[in-house]
Structure 1
């Protein structure tokens, strides 16, 4: 039985990324207060919808930061895998939270279609322009590290999508200014909902898959199996399992039946290849002699 070297496995949140989260949380929280206040004052459902979306993103940023910090705690006798799974659970919670929010916004938008009321397109436009600026700045904070962690990538995509949503509200404000088509406010609210669902559906599916210990997206189980069976000295591969310990670390267990002429120093090479070729940070490999497979199966 062998385990992957631990120097591959542990990721620490850089100080600059912690600052990015804190700045993003602060900027967006201030804007949520401004946008929600403006939405209530102007009675604009589009602004209130966007404010609700931005509030859920603030919560997502807070939970993502907390989860990443918690995931770095060392394993103990109660949690032998550590707390890495917290990042996955937070991603799932965030996706569910957004789906609930869009349901409430959608219900209100539909009810408003028969209740046309005057809206101030100028102020809607100005508030939304501020939203574009803040969301774009926040997205840029995560641009550098978005490819290293699912939560960071989620934060980046959320902020980038929010900038586009705010652009949509700007357009609705301009339309209202020049046409007095007040119903466009409800239409934009529904479009915002579609954008949120489109951006959240993938996150919901992936976080649910990881929560159920499914094979993480981007990991080709077939390619891993083919790599292992083609190693000189390996006769058979069975009990191959791959799952996510966190949004950044993948784990693998496998049993390898060896030939009688197996190579020396086989395990270090396998561990290194699994890490660099397949992004497997933790690998536990059980080596079996030819003819011992039946004994292994009886232990399950």
Structure 2
């Protein structure tokens, strides 16, 4: 059973590595095309979207690096291995996106004061390619995004980029039909707002996980009720839950038993309850009936 679990886990990581490599290549090629078109046709919308896509490429590279690091075995100094690198990379990706948003907003206000001619046809055709590239990338990441914060962040960014590219196509069509070149700058501001909205949750969750907060996927109060109802549990304290990585969670808990003879049964039941709620690694300490916690803030 253990062998099957490890095989499945390694297969998932290998699959994700391949997916990330494909996504990186196609997005990097598109960044080069989009940036070239932006400079050639003087489109802030294309340049800002290219800058954002470049940050996505960097984010994908970081995520790939974090996944590979998480596969390394533990050492005497890093007893958990390098699993936490996936959380730190998620936080770094969110920060990079916020910096990109700031750069887009500053440049947009500059362009509002000094609008320049933009080729609507070039903008539309280039962004049309972006819809295809970002859409394919989001589709490749969609399957695994529910189970990993890094993959979810990448998926949300690519899905949002697809919508952004649709917006840029619309701005190009408006320029062709009306000659209203300011729409390109307005669209770039809309891009910045959309990026900010999509990044906020990633930033908040990554920051919380880096501070060892309870992962959002775990409903702690519901879990506490289930543990309290396990037969043989008198009470519990020093219950801590944190993320070892973006895919693995850990917990420690002190269980006060009703009967010491039930120790093994209670430990097995509590571990099963923790696994059911998404906690793969747990350390359980059992205490004699009537034991009291010496730290009131950790008692339940």
TM-score by structure 2 length? 0.92
Q: Deviations over 1:61-84 (max 9, x none)?
A: 111011011011111110011111
Structure-1 residue corresponding to 2:165: 166
Displacement of 1:92: 0.2
State whether residues 8 and 275 of structure 1, in contact with CA within 8 Å, keep that contact through their aligned partners in structure 2: no
Q: Which moved more, 1:206-215 or 1:115-124?
A: 115-124
SS of 1:31's partner is: helix
Q: Distance in 1 between matches of 2:219 and 2:293?
A: 28
Structure-1 residue corresponding to 2:90: 91
Q: Deviations over 1:156-175 (max 9, x none)?
A: 11111111111110000000
**2:272 aligned with 1:272, yes or no?**
yes
Structure-2 residue corresponding to 1:21: 20
Displacement of 1:266: 2.2
SS of 1:285's partner is: strand
Structure-2 residue corresponding to 1:212: 211
TM-score by structure 1 length? 0.92
Structure-2 residue corresponding to 1:289: 288
State whether residues 13 and 67 of structure 2, in contact with CA within 8 Å, keep that contact through their aligned partners in structure 1: no
Q: Distance in 2 between matches of 1:86 and 1:195?
A: 27
State whether residues 71 and 87 of structure 1, in contact with CA within 8 Å, keep that contact through their aligned partners in structure 2: yes
Greater relative contact order, per chain length (Cα 8 Å cut-off, separation 6+): 1
Q: Distance in 2 between matches of 1:99 and 1:8?
A: 38
Question: Following superposition of structure 1 onto structure 2, how do residues 119-198 of structure 1 map, counting pairs within 5 Å?
Answer: 119-198=118-197
State whether residues 45 and 109 of structure 1, in contact with CA within 8 Å, keep that contact through their aligned partners in structure 2: yes
Consecutive unaligned residues of structure 1, counting only runs of 5 or more, are: none
Q: Distance in 2 between matches of 1:283 and 1:215?
A: 14
Consecutive unaligned residues of structure 2, counting only runs of 5 or more, are: none
Structure-1 residue corresponding to 2:110: 111
Compared CA separation, residues 208 and 136, structure 1 to 2 (3 A): same
Displacement of 1:271: 1.3
Compared CA separation, residues 75 and 56, structure 1 to 2 (3 A): same
SS of 1:21's partner is: helix
Compared CA separation, residues 110 and 137, structure 1 to 2 (3 A): same
Bigger fraction of residues in helix: 2
Q: Distance in 2 between matches of 1:228 and 1:119?
A: 63
Q: Deviations over 1:119-152 (max 9, x none)?
A: 1000100000000001111111112222221111
Q: Distance in 1 between matches of 2:190 and 2:294?
A: 59
Displacement of 1:294: 5.5
Moved over 6 A (4+): 5-10
**2:248 aligned with 1:249, yes or no?**
yes
Q: Which moved more, 1:227-236 or 1:163-172?
A: 227-236
Compared CA separation, residues 128 and 8, structure 1 to 2 (3 A): same
Compared CA separation, residues 175 and 295, structure 1 to 2 (3 A): closer
Compared CA separation, residues 295 and 145, structure 1 to 2 (3 A): closer
Q: Distance in 2 between matches of 1:291 and 1:40?
A: 74
Compared CA separation, residues 107 and 296, structure 1 to 2 (3 A): closer
State whether residues 233 and 259 of structure 1, in contact with CA within 8 Å, keep that contact through their aligned partners in structure 2: yes
Q: Distance in 2 between matches of 1:286 and 1:232?
A: 16
Structure-2 residue corresponding to 1:203: 202
Displacement of 1:43: 1.0
Structure-2 residue corresponding to 1:58: 57
